[in-house]
Amino acid sequence: MAISRRAIVLAAGAVLLALVPPVAGLLNQPFYVDLFRRMMIFAIAALSLDLILGYGGMVSFGHAAYLGIGAYAVGILAFYGVDNGFLQWSVAVAASAVAALVIGAISIRTSGVYFIMITLAFTQMLYYLGISLETYGGDNGMPLRTRSQFAGLVDLRNPSAFYYLVLALLVLFLVLGRRLVDARFGRVIRAARSNEPRARAIGFSPFRYKLAAFVLAGGACGLAGALLANQTEYLTPDFMHWTRSGEIMFMVILGGMGTLFGPVLGAVVLLGLEDVLSALTEHWQIILGPFLVVVVLFAKRGLFGLVEGEVPRDG
């Protein structure tokens, strides 16, 4: 029963997302293509965080770092006239993965509250680094010279083409994520989350698996950063602000952590909510803050938990 309900919701979600550009065109509201593309970009970021947070049990409060590194990789290359998208996006992913390797290698040696604070502190360090990069706009950031070029394959200046590219990437990440989580690798990191000494006792080295997951998540989030730079056509250190990390984390929790579709749902709902609330009042955060507290206190399984119904926790 649960499976079919879930399948229906997923299919409906995919169809609805695919229908956004034509419907927005029909209603003459191009703004919605922009909004939903933004939601999907953040969905990729939240999805990557869920791999380490929901499945790996690593509470990283610094995921915005990779968003920023990915965005700056694209922005800085474009600044020097390199606008080949294949190159830009590869560099974005590679740079984020390397940063994740360094940060992860130090942070994963610790656990619990240390891990939370260290990931947060490292991201703050990168944020200050971004501010001090005067050549690239410093505090104010800088405009992206031009959107990434893909040798005529996809034209990102076309809002719908860009939209479907992001949708395709999101679907790709969902499929890859499913396979990764179900594979031996995914089982080991889940085992490490639920009982690390036991995982070690049966002969695995959790550190390596956790670090690998951390690096994968960082690289995927770097791609989201590259997309975000193209989306906003402007990059600022604010991409790496710690509240951004909190937001991505909230998307995962709101949607339901440890589920692949939860973070997507969370990103859509949170950004949608922000959009509605900020239209209502300038002080929308005074509503969002208590909302967050209430979700944490009373709806820990997230929205996707409601969709899935009763499913035993893996572990």
Partner 1 sequence: MLLVLEQALNGLQYGVMLFLMAAGLTLVFGIMNLVNLAHGSLYMVGAYLATALARWTGSFVLGGLLALPATLLVGVVVEVVALRTLYERDHLDQVLATFGLILFFNELVAIVWGRAAIYTSLPPSLSGSFVLLPGLRYPTYRALVIGVGVAAAVFLYVLVTSTRLGMLIRAGASNRTMVAALGVNIRWLYTLVFGLGAALAGLAGLMAGPIYAVQPGMGEQILIQVFVVIIIGGIGSIRGAVAGALVVGMVDTLGRAFLRPTLSTIVSPAAADKAGPALASMLIYLMMAAVLFFRPQGLFPTRGR
Give the binding site for partner 1 (CB under 8 A): 53, 59, 61, 106, 109-110, 112-114, 116-118, 120-122, 124-125, 128-129, 131-135, 242-243, 246, 249-250, 253, 283-286, 288-293, 296-297, 300
Element (H, E) at 235: strand 234-235
- Choice between 29 and 278, CB closer to partner 1: 278
- Choice between 235 and 248, CB closer to partner 1: 248
- Choice between 119 and 230, CB closer to partner 1: 119
Neighbours of 281 (CB within 10 A): 10
Distance of closest approach, residue 257 Cβ to partner 1, in angstroms: 8
Distance of closest approach, residue 100 Cβ to partner 1, in angstroms: 14
CA–centroid distance for 291 within its chain: 21
- Choice between 87 and 98, CB closer to partner 1: 98
Distance of closest approach, residue 41 Cβ to partner 1, in angstroms: 21
Please name the residue that has the structure tokens 């893909």.
150
Distance of closest approach, residue 169 Cβ to partner 1, in angstroms: 27
R_g of the chain, CA atoms, integer Å: 19
- Choice between 154 and 288, CB closer to partner 1: 288
Taking 3-state DSSP, the helix, strand and coil percentages for the chain, each rounded to the nearest 5, stand at 75, 0, 20
Tokens describing residue 11: 């299919």
Rounded to whole angstroms, the Cα distance separating 27 from 234 reads: 27
215, 97 in Cβ contact below 8 A? Answer: yes
Distance of closest approach, residue 284 Cβ to partner 1, in angstroms: 8
